[in-house]
Amino acid sequence: MALTGAAEATEAALTSCLPARLRERVRTAKGGRILRRPVVYWMQSSLRAHENPALDVAAAVAGALEVPMLVLIHVADRYRHATARRQLFLLEGARSAQAELRQRGVEALQVQVDRKGHREPVCSMLARRASLVIAEEPFCVPWLAGVELLCGEAFEAPVWLVDCSSVVPSALVPRSACHRAYAFEQATRGLHEERVPVPWQDVPLGGCPRGVADEVLAPCVAGLPPSVDLESQDLASLVWDMEVDLSVASVSHTTPGGSAAGYSRWRSWIESGGLKAYAKRRNDSLDIHGVSRMSAYLNAGMVSPLRLAREASKASGSGKGKFLQEFLTWRGLSYAHCYHFPMPASGATLAQLPRWAQETLGQHAADPRRTIPRELLAVGRSGDAAWDGMQRYLVQTGELHNNARMGWGKAIARWAASPQDALEALLELNNRFALDGHAPPSYGGLLGCLGLFEGPKGDSAVLGKVSYKPPKSRYAAMPEMARELLATAEGKPSVLSLLSAEPAGACICEAAGSARGDSGDAAADTEPRKRRWQARLRDDAAVCIDLT
């Protein structure tokens, strides 16, 4: 059904044009008036051009209005705990999405990479010239602030948010089922059974007639800054000009960004028997390939959770049942909790914890405890060999097994000066180093270290009724696992080599001019303070990261 002359088109009429599989994922964040202008899709956290519900909604609505669709890929940098590691991963994902959109025939494509000298409010400019703005459901920081800012601006177009991350849309999950895994699993079992096996049908792109598209697009794109062609750009140079923590180096030699890289890892794991053996191997944190290692790709939207769930459900072997239980339940629970109990745009808070956890942590806030400065924790120098092994592995690889991460996080909580300090330390140490940070599954795990998704246990010092198990002593060997992972990447180009005169080959990073390691002669002190990334692998496995 075409809704031409669209000044009279209503949101209700437009949503009725959508198939049920898309309609159930849409919510209106800002009402408005729909005019005969392009539909703008603001792509940030779902960096893919396939099985992308937001892209499909934008294409379907543009087709109904008979207007062009414009896609804005936006990589921002000014958010808390933004690092060179994460930004390069996102840029690689954005480059992959840009190429895929071009392959699918999208011509109205704008890429904005925020950096020094390039901070134009492109999204706001386009919103003022759009019939409708489509964005991904933000769920958590850093995406919440941008959506809130956009919806607070004065322009005519409505803003729709689309759930691109959940297998069962979070809006369909009962609010009462978002506190415990068993309640979520029971409430969503039928919903998953209906959706998981069904192939996703991408909406065709580029259906607007050329003459109409040119006429409607011209005033929309007039005066926009040049779009960034990520295919031809030196991504490392873009990162260099961002306002991010450059001391946390890229791990693109082991985990490159982009849909192709993500699916390649998934296929390799399946073909090597990883899914079949998942139930037996998943709990061993020292078994690098016992789990899929897909969380970074999923959390950045580079691969489709719908596709992974569908392919796992069709696989053979005894491991798929346990994988799907973990994937659908724990991942889905974290998204549903963030949807129904949203964090503020400033970040996660203790108020997101269940009341019993808030109370018990408050009652034990004054308990005597050993406190360890965050700077020492960051470099893996807590004095606890098992915990230090986990932290060094996280720093080197950008990954940490879920079982290990829970013990890692609960130890941080015991070493913090207060519950608030515990939360801040968890957020900083995870989001700085973990590639899968800044997403609901990550926040769910971090808050889980303080009692989220669990019930009260026996009372103990510091954590009260929040459960605690010390890290296993065998985790002290995790730096050796990092070397094994790095060894498998030998011969692959590392972006570290583009940013440093030092040879690549490891991913411990150190800023030049550090007070701890460099000679620091007078001539060097007169040079600009711009950082270099240096990768060094030390025989004694010591970690050295400049945190200044």
Residue 95: inside a domain, yes or no? yes
CB atoms within 10 A of CB 302: 26
Q: Is the pLDDT of residue 544 over 60?
A: no
How far apart CA 52 and CA 74 sit, in angstroms, is 16
Q: What is the pLDDT of residue 503?
A: 27
At 192, the pLDDT band (50, 70, 90 cuts) reads very high
Domain boundary among 340, 368, 401: 340
Tokens of 111: 């890429």
At 206, the pLDDT band (50, 70, 90 cuts) reads confident
Q: Give me the long-range contacts of 401-407 (CB less than 8 A, separation at least 24).
A: 401/285, 401/291, 402/291, 402/445, 403/283, 403/285, 404/285, 404/471, 404/475, 404/478, 405/430, 405/445, 406/445, 406/448, 406/449, 407/469, 407/470, 407/471, 407/472, 407/475
Structural contact between residues 415 and 372, judged by C-beta atoms closer than 8 angstroms: yes
Q: What is the pLDDT of residue 539?
A: 34
Structural contact between residues 250 and 495, judged by C-beta atoms closer than 8 angstroms: yes
The residues that bridge with 136 in the sheet, in sequence order, are: 162
Tokens of 255: 């985990």
Residue 412 and residue 318 share a domain: no
Residue 336 and residue 372 share a domain: no
Residue 213 and residue 321 share a domain: no
Q: What is the pLDDT of residue 156?
A: 94
Q: Is the pLDDT of residue 440 over 60?
A: yes
The residue to which tokens 């496995």 are assigned? 541
Q: What is the pLDDT of residue 499?
A: 38
pTM of the entire structure? 0.89
Q: What is the pLDDT of residue 498?
A: 36
Residue 362 and residue 319 share a domain: no
CATH assignment of the domain containing 269: 1.25.40.80
How far apart CA 501 and CA 24 sit, in angstroms, is 52
Residue 399: inside a domain, yes or no? yes
Residue 160 and residue 23 share a domain: yes
Q: Is the pLDDT of residue 62 over 80?
A: yes
Q: What is the pLDDT of residue 154?
A: 94
Q: What is the DSSP letter of 471?
A: P
Residue 19: inside a domain, yes or no? yes
Residue 291 and residue 388 share a domain: no
Q: Are strands 132-136 and 159-162 parallel, antiparallel or unpaired?
A: parallel
Q: Is the pLDDT of residue 463 over 90?
A: yes
Note the pLDDT tens digit of each residue in 135-161: 999 999 999 999 999 999 999 999 999
What does each C-alpha distance from 55 to 45, 260, 365 come to in angstroms? 12, 18, 47
To the nearest whole number, what is the mean pLDDT of the chain?
Answer: 89
Q: To 10 degrees, the CA torsion angle through 150, 155, 156, 158?
A: 0
Q: Is the pLDDT of residue 543 over 90?
A: no
Residue 318 and residue 374 share a domain: no
How far apart CA 89 and CA 95 sit, in angstroms, is 10
Please tell me the least confidently modeled range out of 368-372, 421-425, 501-505: 501-505
Range of the domain at 429: 350-488
Note the pLDDT tens digit of each residue in 340-363: 999 999 999 999 999 999 999 999
CATH assignment of the domain containing 47: 3.40.50.620
Residue 320 and residue 399 share a domain: no
Residue 460 and residue 400 share a domain: yes
Residue 403 and residue 269 share a domain: no
| Domain count for the chain | 3
Residue 82: inside a domain, yes or no? yes
Q: What is the pLDDT of residue 490?
A: 57
Note the pLDDT tens digit of each residue in 107-143: 999 999 999 999 999 999 999 999 999 999 999 999 9
Q: What is the pLDDT of residue 13?
A: 87
Nearest of 90, 114, 398 to residue 257 by alpha carbon = 90
Residue 194: inside a domain, yes or no? no
